[in-house]
Amino acid sequence: MTKARSKRVTAKLRLVQRPDGLVQVEILTSPRLESFHRWTWIGWDHQRQEHIWEDGGVQMPDEYLREPHLFQFTVSGEERDKWRYIGVRASAPIEGLMQNLVQRELDLSEGSEERRLLALLAQQEEIPLVWVNENVEVSHPSAESERSNWLVALENTSGLSAKEWKEELAELAWRRSASWRPGPRPRAYKPRSASPPTVPVAFFAPRSGRIPRARGAELAGLQLPPGRRYPRGLPAAYWASVEPVPNVELIAVELASSFAETGIWPLLWRFEEDPDAYLGGHGDLDAIDRIDVEEALRESWSQWPWPPGSTDPFTDFPGLAPAAKYSSPGFNPFAAEGGGAEACLLLVPCNRPADAITMLGGLAGEVGAPVISAVLRSWEERFSASAYEVAPDLVKLSVAAPPRTQEHALLVAAEHMAFCPPADGGVPGALRKVANGLVAAAEGSSDESYRSSRERWYVGWYD
């Protein structure tokens, strides 16, 4: 069976005091949660080479919303037992796939309503949890130790004004961000100017654009679908559609063709979860200019424990491959997916597509966002390789000037191996296998480590 992508659902959460004096937590979903057919993965059939799923039947909201792990209070602080922040989280299975609907810190500023209600909650052993639209009420137990921690947090935040608390939470969100780095946290985004690269590239904007508003926005004369500005809890760094967009590549190619004027680069996102769970935004764009790509790849190559024969015909990193001849004017990087594709649309302000990865905050893995963008810049200039899709640990590139000979492909494959070694660690003949893919007309192995072809490169970091 194939698991379909689930629709996106969000929720608002609030504390409310009832007429009887008890405090309850209300969760208001948008849209209303529905029943779904539950399938549970139970294993892998080695003989048939397919997943085995168990049919759990139809699950109604009144059934699955009673599962205790869907709601949680969290407590945190600079040090253990010096608690300062009380978080709340609510999740739900949407069409069988678990989604985080709402997650935030309670307002503990002096005089706030949530501070008052939390003090009352600390006296209750049971907390009524009400899913308003679904008409479901669940009794959530509250341990004495948990409630004691809330009182500690209330004591430690006593006297903080609303302005001070807002600033503190903003700093907390930045420290927890995947893109955190020493120094001041990012403020509101401002368009960024840049000089054209020495080597002309297919897509360049002298000034990055302004991030579209969440809803009702237009860009390059196109009406955008409903979207959100991300990351949550920080100044916006990018925009993403709320739902997958049918025929998204038709919109993306129009936006790409207007990139020089808008300074907004489109990317596709097909992953099941919200991009905000992986793309923290606000990477260090200035750091890209300080990176020597050949040195970075040579160092990465030297640190990898290559198995014997995996990097043949090279032992040491052979250096950067020469540029290929660009002969595709009007190149459409989104044609790789073909017609009818559906994906969420990301819109990223930047001066060139490579920089969009850093603006998103980078991808999973140990390679920093500025290094990724620096290598992609180099590939833009030498191979006219433009990023068109991202996932948590993957970026896909459309290539207008790929290597044409096996000798050239071997040098380019060495860069790929140094930048993102195959998931298998590099079996004997791995580099030659990558090189063969780089001159192939179509995708090769189903393993994404080796799926690159002449016109499409998969660059990923896999567990």
Say whether pLDDT at 435 is over 50.
Answer: yes
Q: Look at residue 152 in the predicted model and tell me its pLDDT.
A: 96
| Mean of pLDDT values over 143-166 | 96
Mean of pLDDT over the chain: 90
CB 353 within 8 A of CB 260: no
Say how many residues make up the chain.
463
* 349 or 451: which leads in pLDDT: 349
pLDDT, tens digit, 9 for 90 and up, residues 450-463: 788 999 999 998 75
The alpha carbon of residue 86 and the mean position of all alpha carbons in its chain are separated, in whole angstroms, by 25
pLDDT, tens digit, 9 for 90 and up, residues 256-288: 999 999 999 999 999 888 898 889 899 999 999
Phi, psi dihedral angles at 432 (to 5 degrees)? -65, -35
Name the pairing type of β-strands 136-141 and 126-131.
Answer: antiparallel
Q: Look at residue 373 in the predicted model and tell me its pLDDT.
A: 97
Share of the chain above pLDDT 90, in %: 70
| Mean of pLDDT values over 400-415 | 95
What DSSP designation does 34 have? -
* 421 or 432: which leads in pLDDT: 432
Quote the pTM value: 0.82
pLDDT, tens digit, 9 for 90 and up, residues 63-108: 999 999 999 999 999 887 899 999 999 999 987 788 889 999 999 9
Say whether pLDDT at 195 is over 80.
Answer: yes
List beta partners, residue 139: 128
Q: Look at residue 272 in the predicted model and tell me its pLDDT.
A: 81
Which regions of 60-175 does DSSP assign to beta strands (E)? 71-77, 83-94, 97-105, 126-131, 136-141
The tokens for 16 are 């409310």
* 117 or 173: which leads in pLDDT: 117
| Mean of pLDDT values over 156-181 | 91
Confidence category of residue 342, pLDDT binned at 50, 70, 90: confident
Place of tokens 């139809």: 58
| Mean of pLDDT values over 122-133 | 97
Q: b/e string for 351-363 if b means 16 or more Cβ within 10 A?
A: bbbbbbbbbbbbb
Confidence category of residue 234, pLDDT binned at 50, 70, 90: confident
| Mean of pLDDT values over 246-251 | 91
* 450 or 359: which leads in pLDDT: 359
Task: Let me know the angle formed at the C-alpha of 60 by 55 and 65, rounded to the nearest 5 degrees.
Answer: 105
Separation CA 458–CA 395 (nearest Å): 6
Confidence category of residue 338, pLDDT binned at 50, 70, 90: low
On the CB side of 348, how many CA atoms lie within 13 Å of its CA? 31
Q: Look at residue 95 in the predicted model and tell me its pLDDT.
A: 79
Place of tokens 């503990």: 108
| Mean of pLDDT values over 106-126 | 98
* Cβ neighbours of 236 (radius 10 Å): 21
Task: Let me know the angle formed at the C-alpha of 454 by 452 and 457, rounded to the nearest 5 degrees.
Answer: 35
Q: Look at residue 1 in the predicted model and tell me its pLDDT.
A: 40
Say whether pLDDT at 3 is over 50.
Answer: no
Confidence category of residue 337, pLDDT binned at 50, 70, 90: low
Q: Look at residue 394 in the predicted model and tell me its pLDDT.
A: 93
- With the CA atoms of 256, 262, 265 and 268 taken in that order, what torsion angle do they form, in degrees rounded to the nearest 10? -70
Separation CA 180–CA 363 (nearest Å): 13
The tokens for 2 are 């194939």
